[in-house]
Amino acid sequence: MDNNLKDTAYNWVKGEMPAEIGEQYYCGTRDVFQARLDTMVNFLLGDPQIAENDVYVLSAVAGEIGNNSFDHNLGSWPDMPGIFFGYEAESGKVIIVLADRGQGVLKTLKRVRMELKNDEEALLTAFTEKLSGRAPESRGNGLKFVKEGVKAMNARLVFMSGKASARLNEGIEISRSDEIKGCLAVIKN
Protein backbone atom coordinates (compact mmCIF):
# COMPACT_ATOMS: atom_id res chain seq x y z
CA MET A 1 0.00 0.00 0.00
CA ASP A 2 1.62 3.27 -1.02
CA ASN A 3 0.82 6.94 -0.91
CA ASN A 4 -0.77 7.17 -4.38
CA LEU A 5 -4.22 7.71 -2.94
CA LYS A 6 -3.08 10.51 -0.67
CA ASP A 7 -1.01 12.11 -3.44
CA THR A 8 -3.94 12.01 -5.85
CA ALA A 9 -6.20 13.74 -3.33
CA TYR A 10 -3.49 16.22 -2.35
CA ASN A 11 -2.92 17.23 -5.96
CA TRP A 12 -6.68 17.69 -6.35
CA VAL A 13 -6.89 20.20 -3.49
CA LYS A 14 -3.47 21.78 -3.98
CA GLY A 15 -3.78 23.77 -7.17
CA GLU A 16 -5.80 26.78 -8.24
CA MET A 17 -7.60 24.45 -10.62
CA PRO A 18 -8.61 20.94 -9.56
CA ALA A 19 -6.35 18.25 -10.99
CA GLU A 20 -7.93 15.30 -12.76
CA ILE A 21 -9.11 12.53 -10.47
CA GLY A 22 -10.61 9.22 -11.44
CA GLU A 23 -14.37 8.94 -11.48
CA GLN A 24 -14.10 6.20 -8.89
CA TYR A 25 -12.86 8.76 -6.34
CA TYR A 26 -15.19 11.65 -7.11
CA CYS A 27 -18.46 11.95 -5.18
CA GLY A 28 -20.33 14.91 -6.63
CA THR A 29 -23.27 14.52 -4.29
CA ARG A 30 -23.90 13.21 -0.80
CA ASP A 31 -25.92 10.27 -2.16
CA VAL A 32 -22.95 9.02 -4.15
CA PHE A 33 -20.72 9.37 -1.09
CA GLN A 34 -23.18 7.46 1.09
CA ALA A 35 -23.44 4.62 -1.41
CA ARG A 36 -19.65 4.33 -1.65
CA LEU A 37 -19.32 4.48 2.13
CA ASP A 38 -21.69 1.50 2.39
CA THR A 39 -19.61 -0.28 -0.24
CA MET A 40 -16.47 0.42 1.78
CA VAL A 41 -17.99 -1.16 4.90
CA ASN A 42 -18.77 -4.36 3.02
CA PHE A 43 -15.33 -4.33 1.40
CA LEU A 44 -13.53 -3.95 4.73
CA LEU A 45 -15.74 -6.53 6.43
CA GLY A 46 -14.49 -8.98 3.82
CA ASP A 47 -10.94 -8.68 5.17
CA PRO A 48 -10.57 -11.13 8.07
CA GLN A 49 -7.51 -9.24 9.32
CA ILE A 50 -9.57 -6.16 10.14
CA ALA A 51 -11.62 -6.28 13.35
CA GLU A 52 -15.34 -5.89 12.68
CA ASN A 53 -15.73 -3.13 15.25
CA ASP A 54 -12.82 -1.22 13.69
CA VAL A 55 -14.65 -1.29 10.34
CA TYR A 56 -17.69 0.34 11.90
CA VAL A 57 -15.64 3.01 13.68
CA LEU A 58 -13.62 3.76 10.53
CA SER A 59 -16.86 4.07 8.60
CA ALA A 60 -18.38 6.41 11.18
CA VAL A 61 -15.26 8.60 11.23
CA ALA A 62 -15.12 8.75 7.42
CA GLY A 63 -18.87 9.40 7.30
CA GLU A 64 -18.65 12.36 9.64
CA ILE A 65 -15.76 13.91 7.73
CA GLY A 66 -17.31 13.38 4.30
CA ASN A 67 -20.73 14.61 5.34
CA ASN A 68 -19.16 17.69 6.94
CA SER A 69 -17.91 18.68 3.51
CA PHE A 70 -21.45 18.67 2.14
CA ASP A 71 -23.01 20.20 5.28
CA HIS A 72 -20.73 23.23 5.29
CA ASN A 73 -20.38 23.92 1.57
CA LEU A 74 -23.91 23.49 0.32
CA GLY A 75 -24.49 26.26 -2.21
CA SER A 76 -21.08 27.83 -1.60
CA TRP A 77 -18.50 25.58 -3.22
CA PRO A 78 -15.76 27.95 -4.48
CA ASP A 79 -15.14 26.03 -7.71
CA MET A 80 -15.78 22.30 -7.79
CA PRO A 81 -18.60 20.77 -5.72
CA GLY A 82 -18.31 17.38 -4.10
CA ILE A 83 -15.56 15.37 -2.47
CA PHE A 84 -12.72 12.97 -3.12
CA PHE A 85 -13.24 9.63 -1.36
CA GLY A 86 -10.88 6.71 -1.73
CA TYR A 87 -9.71 3.77 0.35
CA GLU A 88 -7.40 0.80 0.24
CA ALA A 89 -6.82 -2.19 2.50
CA GLU A 90 -3.96 -4.64 2.57
CA SER A 91 -2.92 -7.15 5.25
CA GLY A 92 -5.26 -5.61 7.77
CA LYS A 93 -4.01 -2.08 7.17
CA VAL A 94 -6.50 0.48 5.91
CA ILE A 95 -6.04 3.93 4.44
CA ILE A 96 -9.04 6.18 3.82
CA VAL A 97 -8.63 9.53 2.10
CA LEU A 98 -11.26 12.26 1.89
CA ALA A 99 -10.87 15.76 0.47
CA ASP A 100 -12.89 18.72 -0.69
CA ARG A 101 -12.22 22.02 -2.44
CA GLY A 102 -14.64 23.85 -0.18
CA GLN A 103 -14.46 26.89 2.09
CA GLY A 104 -12.11 25.28 4.60
CA VAL A 105 -12.42 25.21 8.38
CA LEU A 106 -11.23 28.76 9.10
CA LYS A 107 -13.68 30.49 6.78
CA THR A 108 -16.52 28.27 8.00
CA LEU A 109 -15.89 28.86 11.70
CA LYS A 110 -15.00 32.53 11.32
CA ARG A 111 -18.64 33.19 10.51
CA VAL A 112 -19.47 32.41 14.13
CA ARG A 113 -16.13 33.22 15.83
CA MET A 114 -14.61 36.24 14.15
CA GLU A 115 -11.58 36.38 16.46
CA LEU A 116 -10.09 33.19 14.98
CA LYS A 117 -6.75 34.34 13.59
CA ASN A 118 -5.49 31.53 11.40
CA ASP A 119 -6.03 27.98 10.14
CA GLU A 120 -4.17 26.49 13.09
CA GLU A 121 -6.50 28.08 15.62
CA ALA A 122 -9.50 27.08 13.53
CA LEU A 123 -8.44 23.41 13.41
CA LEU A 124 -7.80 23.25 17.15
CA THR A 125 -11.20 24.83 17.80
CA ALA A 126 -12.95 22.46 15.40
CA PHE A 127 -11.57 19.36 17.13
CA THR A 128 -11.81 20.49 20.73
CA GLU A 129 -14.68 22.96 21.19
CA LYS A 130 -18.39 22.78 20.59
CA LEU A 131 -18.74 25.36 17.88
CA SER A 132 -20.59 25.03 14.61
CA GLY A 133 -20.23 27.07 11.46
CA ARG A 134 -23.94 26.44 10.92
CA ALA A 135 -25.11 28.34 13.99
CA PRO A 136 -27.85 29.08 15.00
CA GLU A 137 -28.35 25.37 14.36
CA SER A 138 -27.06 23.46 17.36
CA ARG A 139 -24.30 21.36 15.86
CA GLY A 140 -20.56 21.09 16.19
CA ASN A 141 -20.04 17.66 17.69
CA GLY A 142 -18.87 15.71 14.63
CA LEU A 143 -15.12 16.35 14.74
CA LYS A 144 -15.04 15.77 18.49
CA PHE A 145 -16.53 12.34 17.76
CA VAL A 146 -13.89 11.84 15.05
CA LYS A 147 -11.12 12.67 17.54
CA GLU A 148 -12.50 10.20 20.09
CA GLY A 149 -12.99 7.49 17.45
CA VAL A 150 -9.40 7.79 16.24
CA LYS A 151 -8.13 7.62 19.81
CA ALA A 152 -10.32 4.65 20.74
CA MET A 153 -9.03 2.44 17.94
CA ASN A 154 -5.47 3.77 18.09
CA ALA A 155 -5.76 4.98 14.51
CA ARG A 156 -4.05 8.00 12.99
CA LEU A 157 -5.70 10.93 11.30
CA VAL A 158 -4.06 13.78 9.45
CA PHE A 159 -6.55 16.56 8.79
CA MET A 160 -5.39 19.53 6.70
CA SER A 161 -7.24 22.74 5.98
CA GLY A 162 -5.86 25.95 4.51
CA LYS A 163 -2.31 26.34 5.80
CA ALA A 164 -2.61 24.06 8.82
CA SER A 165 -2.40 20.38 9.56
CA ALA A 166 -3.71 18.47 12.58
CA ARG A 167 -2.24 15.09 13.50
CA LEU A 168 -4.46 13.02 15.76
CA ASN A 169 -3.78 9.81 17.59
CA GLU A 170 -3.81 9.78 21.38
CA GLY A 171 -3.87 13.56 21.33
CA ILE A 172 -3.77 16.32 18.76
CA GLU A 173 -0.82 18.24 17.29
CA ILE A 174 -1.35 21.25 15.08
CA SER A 175 1.30 22.62 12.73
CA ARG A 176 1.64 24.86 9.69
CA SER A 177 1.65 23.25 6.28
CA ASP A 178 1.58 24.14 2.61
CA GLU A 179 -1.72 25.70 1.62
CA ILE A 180 -4.52 23.63 0.18
CA LYS A 181 -8.03 24.48 -0.94
CA GLY A 182 -10.67 23.17 1.41
CA CYS A 183 -9.82 20.10 3.50
CA LEU A 184 -7.89 16.85 3.21
CA ALA A 185 -8.17 13.94 5.65
CA VAL A 186 -6.07 10.77 5.74
CA ILE A 187 -7.16 8.04 8.15
CA LYS A 188 -4.98 4.99 8.85
CA ASN A 189 -5.61 2.16 11.31
Residues that bind other proteins (CB under 8 A): 30, 34, 37, 41, 53, 56-57, 59-60, 63-64, 67, 70-71, 130, 138-142, 144-145, 148-149, 152
Q: Give the residue with the Cβ less far from other proteins, 3 or 53.
A: 53
Burial class (CB in 10 A: 0-12, 13-18, 19+), 83: buried
Least spacing, CB of residue 37 vs other proteins, in Å: 7
Least spacing, CB of residue 133 vs other proteins, in Å: 13
Q: Give the residue with the Cβ less far from other proteins, 24 or 42.
A: 42
Q: Give the residue with the Cβ less far from other proteins, 148 or 173.
A: 148
Q: Give the residue with the Cβ less far from other proteins, 37 or 180.
A: 37
Least spacing, CB of residue 84 vs other proteins, in Å: 18
Q: Give the residue with the Cβ less far from other proteins, 14 or 139.
A: 139
Which residues are within 8 A (CB) of 64 and not within 5 positions of it... i.e. 6 or more apart?
142, 143, 145, 146
Least spacing, CB of residue 56 vs other proteins, in Å: 5
Least spacing, CB of residue 29 vs other proteins, in Å: 11
